[in-house]
Every structure is written in structure tokens, then in C-alpha cells.
Structure 1
């Protein structure tokens, strides 16, 4: 029996693909396979939408289809100052190239790494020495001495420029040889399919690192037979760009230099998405504690999520947290415990969606209008077209005064609340404090 929602490893290994994303991934792989041009594609989805699970499953399916594959968690390498070495080493170690070819590619990568590293060191030295020598230091010097110093500096500068001109072609040649070797090796071996390099969690990285990854991919890895899939939220990369280069920069235009096109997960019509979300919730809940009522409470909670997800555009991760909270409620109760589904469902949701309203529920100060406005309950209680009306009737009964309930048939509610010997006005507060809040998530 599980209490927590399935982790990434379980989701990656799941046999069922509820949202049809494997088929979407197969379409991406076909695009990569058919393209003669090296592609950089961004999967642009928000946090909690299941990007990492998709990326890991895509990597597995790509290997099954004989692609060469690298899965790179950028956030785990965020500490590494040498982006080129990180990316190159993943290709060398994970693509299954033969020992001789691996040795060849490693040698070419070392040549490039030396140049990239030297540039980084020079940049660091410039940063450390910036401002140490100032023009004002010479203001009190003898004019002849100043002229002589100037001549020595000019002579040294000439030597540096000459050396740089001589080495420029050598450096460019090293880059070209590495790129050509990489392209050739990725088109040979047991399969002629290209390399799919999946970069995950890029939007969680430090801005300097994230942009360095993009720039390194463009300048050193953009070769035939190598494609990149950036799994990220482009808005976050845009924010990183503005942080690095100033708010005046057109971040979207800047990112266009690195990303050929963006893709998003398949979208569904509301009715279909409601159905899929209900299946998803039931799939998460099936390994959690039994509801002691032949699955009736789990079915009801899945139906509730399918009704309310659209209001807050709940991410899959958010829904999983709701399922965990509901699972804890099930573990802490049984059918002899007061646990009105209409109240428990909404209290679980309020705890995550509106902590302020949930705090009012705990103190007994929550009123029906608070809940009615938050969930947009219908004013016409005679309507039965809206499935949320059932929740509206329940919450109206437990949070309204006796005067406000005049004219409403409350016999069914009265029987259920009296059975547990709890006053009507105390039921919501009792459930909030003793069931839903029994286990608190860290804040």
C-alpha cells in the first residue's frame, strides 16, 4: 500500500500512457529521423506538467527504435563550470560508440576543451584584474617614463595580436575537426539513426549556466546527425536572458537564435480532458489506502478533480499532491468515521488552492459565500445540470444559519450528521482540524 503519489521512476516505467504522450513522442522522433538539418527543439511546458516523465520515457522509446540517445539533467550539472566537457562526456559515454571511435572523439574533444578552458581562464583573469591598473596611476609620473611604459605595452600588445592571429586558424580547425568527427560517428555504428540529445530541467538552472548550455550547443554541437530536445519552460529561459543581458533585450528574439521551433503536449477538448484526468486520478489512487467503501470515495474524488481542475489549471503534480492528501485522509479514517465526501474533497482542495480559506475553516469562521464564490456555485439550487450543485447543497447546509436554511429540505443531511453526534455548525471545523490537517505539507 502506498501513501505518496507515484514517483518519477514509477511513472516512467508505467505501462499505461493515459494522455497519449508516447505517440506524440514517436512523432517527434520521426521528425528528428527525417531531418537532414541539425535541430534544436524546445518542449515548452510549465512546471509540474510531467515534462521529466515524458523526457525519460522518450529516451527509452528512442533507444528501442535504435536511436543514439543521451539524457542530460542540466540541473544536476549546474555546478560544473565547463559546459562543453559535460555535454561531450555524456555523448562519449552514453551513445555506445566503439572503443576506437570513443578514443578518437575523446581526443578531438580534449583539443576543444583546452581552447574553451583557456578562454574561460583568460576571462576570469580579466575579471580579477579589472581596475587594478588605472590611468590615474600615471598622472604623477614623469612624461618620459610614461611614454616608455606606453611603448613597452604597445610592443607586448603586438606580440599578443600576432600570437592570436596565428592560433585563430588552429583553434577554428580544432572546432571543425571535432564537429566533423562527431557528425560522422553519429551516423555510423549498428544503426544509421541520429543522436537525440535530451536536455532536461534547463529552466531550473542558474541563468549563466542555462545560457552557456544554449550557446555551447549552437557553436560546438550543431552538426548533422545530432538533434537536441530542450525540455523547459521558455518563459523561464527568457527571464534568465533578461537577467543576464538586461531588461531591454528582446529575450524571445535572442532565444530564436538557438531554438528552431517549440512544441507542446497534445491538447484535448474539455470533455475528453475531464475523462483523462479522472482516469489519471484513479490510477494514482489505486495503490493508496482502501476507502473502505468499495471504491466509492475514490471514484467521487476523481470526479471532483475532473470538475474543478480547469478553474485553477491544475498541473499533474498539483493533482498528485491532492491525491496524496486525500490518500492520507483515507488512511486516517474508515467508514465509521465522519468524512462527508463533499466536505473532504473541497477541504483537501482548499488546503492547497486557498490556504487563507482553509485557515478560516479550521477556526470555524468560513462561511458559505466564501466557498460559493471560490467555486462559482450556482445561485439556482433547483438546477441539476451542474455536477457541482451537489457540493453547493452540502456546503450550504453545513455553513448556513438556521434562518438561511428555511425552505430547504435538510432531512438527509440531518440524519447523517446526527449519527456522529457532532453539531452541524462544527462539522467543517472538525474535518479541517482532525482529518485534512492531521498531516501537514511543509511550506
Structure 2
């Protein structure tokens, strides 16, 4: 679960493994410019670190605040239960100023008429009175009206309806007054409102928030940034207005700019590295459960580079690390025979558990579709000879060799001649020695012999993963 209290103090200086500070700096340049960029969407898939980026952006704006911005953060999901998006945003703006500040008092005074109108306070009160519901929630000022109803008088309802009709007639004036109050309060101190987690809200609330942003907060010196999953927001719009709705056009009639958070960064060699691969190493290194010798095993960080992690969000990566931590807690270190490979298998099987339930069950049942498994690891069939090199047999191939006995058909081929096969086996042993695993060479290449302890270790690890249904 996201810890907002911890995250609110995050800065790019403390952690920026995805190299997102340059993106934040460009956003600030747009906000400072004469270009009309508000409202703006910062788009990212679920679990890509949007909320963390949001707080870091807020802190960066405030750290070098030459324009004297008032920067607010609104968690739309937390406000969802109140069902009053306008009230939520007005409260955030009012909160910039102290209770005795005249600007706050004037702003609230101008906001109340329109807020009363659009929130339907009068209608709700009348409904409560008419049906006798939620009596404890009825404000004191309506108690007299309740007594009138009980006595059979319609005067209270008539007066209330008259008041509502009057509010409707004055709606445009009320809205104009509220916008003028927003302009007035933001003239010397421009406002930036960061609205987060809207993609997690109920569809009706999300749409109400969008409408509020468009019709009320689209004023000078007030800039709105929505941090959300745009695809999910489009699905929300379709849910509210029907599947035939052009949700793309509907959404982008509200917004002038969209910034897309990239899902990859450039590595040290200029190669593109997926953010979740980077995040995996960061989370492992930060773990208080994973021992240092495990963290120092560089092979474990190679595993996510050849698996397809496109379906694993940053949050799913954190859950994968939780699987690894669980396995470590259950480990009997005294039974360890090849720590490096055991750690590799813990990480690999945790990723399989999170990515592909079908493959995980095939491993559990010792009946793996070799074509599917090789595709899963982005590996190929292996031909090992005495001339094979470390470069030719990387970690993904070692994993294929380990699981070879589970395959319907072998993927490991050695020469058929006796002496050539012996020399190839010796070469394989030298390669396996890199992983401190050469003692298992004979077990791995003899297809009918399952005496290698590593197969018992695989069973042990799978059973531990299945013991608790770690939330995915």
C-alpha cells in the first residue's frame, strides 16, 4: 500500500533511478512559460511510480519557487468517498492561507453560493426531511422546518424550492464570482494543483472531477496537473457515458498537454533498460531481509533482463521481491549446497510465479512445454561442444539446462561420440563452475537421473511459494 506520509518528502536528489528529474524540469519550464498548458495530464500505467513522481515534482517546484507558486496536492481517491470534487479542490486552495487571512475568508465567501448550488445541499436536506432518513445528519437550521412538515405544513418545502430556483437563476453569477475569487487569490501567488489517483476513483466521481476542473478551475494563474493512467480514465468515461462514447475525444477536450512518463531509461552502454528491471535491483538493494551476499550475487540482476516483464508494474516488482524475501525467511542455510544457483532459482521462480501461472504449474508438475519455456526465457536449444564458451552459454542457458529434465523433449544436445561427449561435458563443467555448480554436471546431462539435489530444491522453493498466496 502506498505510504503517502513517507512519499511526500521524496526528492529527485534522494532517489531518481528512472532519471525523471529532467522530465520534471521540462514540466516546470512549461508551467513558467507563456504557453497555456493547463490542464495537463501526466500519463503513466498503473504501478509506474506516478505518485512518487508527483511528490518529487511538487517538491522540486517549491525548492526553486521564483514565481511564488502555491502548490497543492489532491489525492482524488481519498476524496472519492465525500463525493464532492468541487469542495475538495476549494478546500485545498483555501488551505494555502491561515484561518484569519482575509484572502481565505473572501475566497470561501465567494465559493459558498456556487458550492451550495452544485453540491445539492438544499435538495439533500429536503429529501432527508421528507423521508425521515439520516435525521442525525440534518443541520440544526433545518430542525424548525422538520417540525413544520410534521405539522402538515408545506411552507418549508415551498421556501426551500424557491431558494433552489433562485440559486439556479443566479448560477452563472455564482460561477463568475467563484472564478473571479480564484483569479483574485492567485494574482500574486499563482496556484498549481496536482491531482493524483483519479484513475482509481469511481467512474461518476472521476467524471465530476473532470467537469469541475474544466468549468470552474480553468482560469488565469491556476494551473491543473492530473497525474493518472489515461487509458483507465478513458475506460471510466465509457463506463459513465456508454461504450459508444468517443472517450479519447471526450477526455482531451479538457486537457491541453500530455506528458508521458517513459517506461525505460538508457543504461551505461546507451542501451534501453526497462524501469521495472532497474526498480528490481533498487528494491533488492534496499531490502532489510535479503542478506548482503544475496545482494552481491550479480547473476540475480541478469534474470529480469531476459524475461518479458512488460506486464509487471513497479508495484508487481515490489511484490516479486516480497516473494524472494519470503523464500529467504524459509531457507535452511545448513542444507545449502550451491548458494549462487539457489539464489538464482529463488529469483527466477519468483518471477515465473508472478508472470506466468501456467508455466509455474508446469514446472510444479514436472511437465514443461520446452518450446513455451524457451520462449518464456528468450533462450534457444543448446548444442554444447568442447569449443563452447561462456559467452555462448549465458545464465538463461544455464537455467534451461537445469530445467531440461522437466521438458517433454531435450533442449540440451551434446556430441554423440564418446570422447567428444566427454570433452563437451568437461567444457560444460567449466562453464557451470562460474556458478559454483560444476559438481552437478553429471546429473544435469544424464536425462534419466534425477538424483541432483537441485530438483529437490526446486520442489522445496515451489512449495514455499505456494504455501502463502502472495497477493499479485
User: What range describes the TM-score normalised by the shorter chain of this pair?
Assistant: 0.7 to 0.9
Corresponding residue of 2:202: 206
- Give the SS at the match of 2:72: strand
- Give the SS at the match of 1:262: strand
- Using CA pairs below 8 Å that are at least 6 residues apart, which structure has the higher relative contact order? 1
- Give the SS at the match of 2:244: coil
1:145-224 aligned at under 5 Å gives the runs 170-188=170-188, 192=189, 194-224=190-220
Corresponding residue of 1:144: none
Corresponding residue of 2:362: 360
Corresponding residue of 1:248: 244
Corresponding residue of 1:133: none
Q: TM-score, normalised by structure 2?
A: 0.73
Corresponding residue of 1:284: 283
Q: Give, in whole Å, the separation in 2 of the partners of 1:168 and 1:292.
A: 67
Q: Give, in whole Å, the separation in 2 of the partners of 1:184 and 1:401.
A: 74
Change (3 A) 1:201 1:6: closer
- Residues 347 and 358, structure 1, Cα contact 8 Å, conserved in 2: yes
- Give the SS at the match of 2:219: coil
Q: Report the alpha carbon displacement of residue 46 of structure 1 after superposing the two structures with TM.
A: 0.8
Alignment pair present for 1:317 and 2:321: no
User: For the aligned residues, what is the CA RMSD?
Assistant: 3.7
Gaps of 5+ in 1: 130-159
Corresponding residue of 1:61: 60
Alignment pair present for 1:28 and 2:52: no
Q: Give, in whole Å, the separation in 1 of the partners of 2:202 and 2:108.
A: 28
Q: TM-score, normalised by structure 1?
A: 0.77
Alpha-carbon displacement from aligned partner over 1:192-215 (angstroms, at most 9, x marks no partner): 4x2111111111111110000010
Q: Give, in whole Å, the separation in 2 of the partners of 1:336 and 1:319.
A: 28
- Residues 194 and 226, structure 2, Cα contact 8 Å, conserved in 1: yes
Q: Give, in whole Å, the separation in 2 of the partners of 1:335 and 1:292.
A: 17
Q: Report the alpha carbon displacement of residue 277 of structure 1 after superposing the two structures with TM.
A: 5.5
Gaps of 5+ in 2: 132-160, 415-423, 444-450
Alpha-carbon displacement from aligned partner over 1:113-150 (angstroms, at most 9, x marks no partner): 1222349839x97xx99xxxxxxxxxxxxxxxxxxxxx
When structure 1 is superposed on structure 2, of 93-102 and 223-232 the one drifting more is 93-102
Corresponding residue of 2:406: 399
- Residues 367 and 406, structure 2, Cα contact 8 Å, conserved in 1: no
The one of 412, 418, 428 aligned to 2:458: 428
Aligned length: 398
Change (3 A) 1:276 1:79: closer
- Give the SS at the match of 1:79: helix
Q: Give, in whole Å, the separation in 1 of the partners of 2:118 and 2:282.
A: 49
Change (3 A) 1:404 1:302: closer
Alignment pair present for 1:329 and 2:331: no
Q: Give, in whole Å, the separation in 2 of the partners of 1:249 and 1:202.
A: 19
Alpha-carbon displacement from aligned partner over 1:162-215 (angstroms, at most 9, x marks no partner): x96x76663322211211121121122xxx4x2111111111111110000010
Q: Give, in whole Å, the separation in 2 of the partners of 1:234 and 1:275.
A: 20
Q: Report the alpha carbon displacement of residue 281 of structure 1 after superposing the two structures with TM.
A: 2.8
